[in-house]
Amino acid sequence: MKARSSVRSLKQKPGSIVVRRRGHTFVINKRDPRWNTRQG
């Protein structure tokens, strides 16, 4: 899982879900796990 400064472009990927956990923003994509990222 990569840490990125901006996850806005990853929200448009098919299958992406934006989740907030423990003060971090995660993008979880089960369809294409290459786009799993963390912000913060």
The predicted structure's pLDDT at residue 40: 83
Structural domain span for residue 29: 2-39
Contact 29, 13 (CB under 8 A): yes
Backbone Cα Rg of the chain: 9
pTM of the model: 0.81
**DSSP for residue 13:** S
- Mind listing the pLDDT tens digit for each residue in 8-30? 999 999 999 999 999 999 999 99
- Count: domains in the chain: 1
